[in-house]
Structure 1
């Protein structure tokens, strides 16, 4: 464990090392959440379920389709095209022979009902989970390092406080977030905890159970953004130089303006990159960006940053309005909503000609300059994997690792009926072997991994019950509720 104090990874005016947020950014409310960054008196976010961050328990709350209360998070329409049901069942074949179709599907937007499972498969988290059975439970049962536990607890209420899953202090969302982040500090004690990991884990938890979110976080930290959350921020500084080098090609006007006014890359892109835009964009855009990011890798994050910089500072007329560093930073903290709108942003990101080869070429060039100016990197990060195909190629999974498994076991209400009652009279006459083969098959996918808190879980509305103590889903149609 590093001797570095936890304060170096806290969001504070004194230091921004290891947290992914600049000191200037720490004093403002984060876009789309209007969250209050003030600590409670105890410095601990765990508390009563009745503490609702300003909402009375009895108050009626309007929740949008993403789970955000009222108008606290912008959103727009989302594509709802169907995805081939055999894709997840034959994931290795699709990635090997039909990767372009997978890529196109992710660019169009993954259907909400499949997003959680698709993200887990894309990131390689599914394989990691199967290859490390019981690992999360082992980490979850340990108390954790007190210094990281304390920091994590103080951060819990800051993550999407107007999302229904995280609005209650000490509620199930915050509890799962704590479990995932604490487990990661035990999984990587040399790295510990970084504040920018919390929104990443929270987004994952909105779409999958805690164990899956943990392995998704592991993959993002180790494969997609290696070194981003280590002390010193060397990896993010290096990628900042790569971003400016690419911006010189994409928008020379914007690049000249930023360099003229000495706007360092980390001043405008640290939160963007380390939080994968989850605290910057409208929610529909966040989800679409993540669909592509987990499929194609970090080049999507670079493209989003380049598009925003080009749109805000890409012409002489626009830069004339920013006569200095302060004005430029103010502009970049108040990006025109049109440029962040789902339809516009995704189209621009897809059309921008920046490839992983371009990023790697600039990476080696900037690495040489870094060594000349600063010496060797202190943080030895594993090589970056550019998306799902690269991850699968580097670590080929077995069919067993990819096999979908039931996630929830329920007791059938029909079990209590006698053999002579209605339908079950026929069921009782079937051979025992046939009964054991039968499973519960869902009639349709549920929209979210966790149903809205204001709605009862409509389990029986989504399935045909044919037995008892059976899985909620077949091997072909695993789903999260």
Structure 2
């Protein structure tokens, strides 16, 4: 039976497998969102800044209490535009700075483009021009098409992109998932891929979302969506082993009640917490995940387990297996709050080396008890730098095709536009000449009026004019304050 989860208004299945089989799909309640969704197609509704219909996503209005002031946001946007224009240099020489900026949160207007660059999807797309269009034009494997169709309305049914059955959001989601089954026919379709693809589509066009999905499935979480789910089971054992060090109390409690990791972490990991956390936290976790890799997913899981089960005082009310499982299914909002969660994740000392060391240990144990793995997965890449080092891009692969035109002191010279004026150079020198600590202090100082904040108005080009929203739509309110007009500007 499906249920509506308070975290972000998503439908969550209690079935043990995410594999895209008719049997597992039939276990879901097809009527669960039918009555709530149908009736909204022709009705004017209010959405929050993320595109969710008001009231559908709990915590969305309060989860980001410390919204970044517009002038600070514009500074960050200018910095990100500079990084994207010189991506190879930043990744090679100033990767730590990129990581810090991802931890602070990528500006909403540039999030989709940044994710594509961080994941290596931009390079894949440039190296395989026309590939998505070729896959999109093919009919697809009938054994997957029907299953994908049934899953479309279950992905974020209260988000403005996916609220209408047969709308452009669901159409693009179908195209992306179908294309992946043709790209990897031996893997096919897994239900957990649908929310991943849907999150990507909220921030980028279908072709970019396809290559983002390819990178997640092949580089970040290889083997997660293969038959048998061996990779996710193995990572469950890794999580449990890391928990022994992060929170011995929680580890002992779960072991005492014989609660296997696969019972509570499958949806967390396979959906990268997109069906678990409030939306502001989802986006911040994904910003760090694309930059630093799967260790971020492990850290989030460890933080939640430690917060919920990390002391004897907390365990007094959860003495049995049932009570503990209920707690893990209904995480307290305070532990999922954006600021709290991100700070805890950053501070938790779990590195790629820790994950890989435990991976080898658990792999040996798996072979001793269960034999060889049936699905051979490529080694996973731990974040953007590892992916870029493994497949070095050319400058041509990294060229930008911007939909935002900005005449900023940072971007003008790098884009080969008009020569920078004396004032431009002065501002650039002032910004670039400061030390890292001074720059960060300036970046975070609330209410300070910076020279970059006086940038001229921007021109935003909608690459999907047919999908342009009415002038007074809630999605466009407040867009004059910043390059970012909100998370719901899905195609910037």
TM-score by length of 2: 0.77
Identify the structure with bigger relative contact order (alpha carbons < 8 Å, sequence gap 6+): 2
Q: Which residue of 1 aligns with 2:203?
A: 207
CA RMSD across the alignment: 3.1
CA contact (8 A) 1:224 1:387 kept: yes
- Give 1:320 deviation, angstroms: 2.1
Q: Quick one: which of 453, 458, 463 aligns to 1:444?
A: 458
State how far apart, in whole Å, the 2-side matches of 1:68 and 1:345 are: 22
Question: In structure 2, which of residues 29, 35, 52 is the aligned counterpart of residue 38 of structure 1?
Answer: 29
Shift of 1:26: 11
Q: How does 1:255-270 map to 2 (within 5 A)?
A: 255-270=251-266
Which residue is equivalent to 2:37? 53
Aligned to 1:167: 163
Contact residue 403 and residue 460 of structure 2 kept, 8 A = no
Number of residue-to-residue matches in the alignment: 407
Aligned-residue offset at 1:258:
0.5
1:320-374 residue CA offsets vs partner (Å, 9 max, x unmatched): 2112211111001111100000010000000000000000000000000000001
What's 1:66 paired with? 50
- Mapped to 1, the partners of 2:15 and 2:383 lie a distance apart of 35
1:3 match? none
The answer for the alignment partner of 1:432 in structure 2 is none
Is contact 2:40–2:164 with CA below 8 Å preserved after alignment? no
Q: What residue in structure 2 maps to residue 99 of structure 1?
A: 95
| Residue 82 in structure 1 maps to residue 76 in structure 2 | yes
Shift of 1:448: 10
**Alpha carbons 2:403, 2:462 under 8 Å: kept:** no
Residue 125 of structure 1 is matched in structure 2 by 121
Aligned to 2:17: 16
Q: Secondary structure at the match of 1:382?
A: coil
Which residue of structure 1 lines up, in the alignment, with residue 141 of structure 2?
A: 145
Q: TM-score, normalised by structure 1?
A: 0.79
CA gap of 1:406–1:71, structure 2 versus 1, over 3 A, is same
- The runs of 5 or more residues in structure 1 that have no matched partner are 1-10, 28-36, 46-50, 410-436, 464-478
Residue 322 (structure 2) aligns with: 326
Q: Which residue of 1 aligns with 2:267?
A: 271
Contact in 1 for aligned 2:122/2:208 (Cα 8 Å) = yes
Change (3 A) 1:61 1:240: same
Q: Which range moves more in the overlay, 442-451 or 62-71? A: 442-451
Q: Which of these two proteins has the greater Rg computed from alpha carbons?
A: 1
Query: For 1:116 and 1:14, how far apart are their aligned partners in 2?
Result: 31
Taking the aligned partners of 1:403 and 1:212, their CA distance within structure 2 comes to 14
- Partners of 1:342 and 1:453 lie apart in 2 by 29
Query: CA offsets per residue over residues 120-160 of structure 1, 9 Å max, x none?
Result: 00000000000000000000000100110000000000000
2:349 is matched with 353
1:214, CA displacement in angstroms?
0.1
Quote the Cα distance in structure 2 between the aligned partners of 1:395 and 1:174: 32
Kept in 2, the 8 Å contact 1:206–1:449? The answer is no
Query: How far is 1:452 from its partner?
Result: 8.0
Q: Is the Cα contact below 8 Å between 2:18 and 2:192 reproduced in 1?
A: no
Deviation at 1:18, TM superposition (A): 2.9
Per-residue Cα deviation, 1:90-147 (whole angstroms, up to 9, x for no partner): 1000000010110000000000010000000000000000000000000000010011
1:222 aligns with 2:218: yes
Structure 1 distance, partners of 2:275, 2:461, is 23
Deviations 1:173-214 (A, max 9, x none): 000000000000000000000000000000000000000000
Deviation at 1:379, TM superposition (A): 0.6
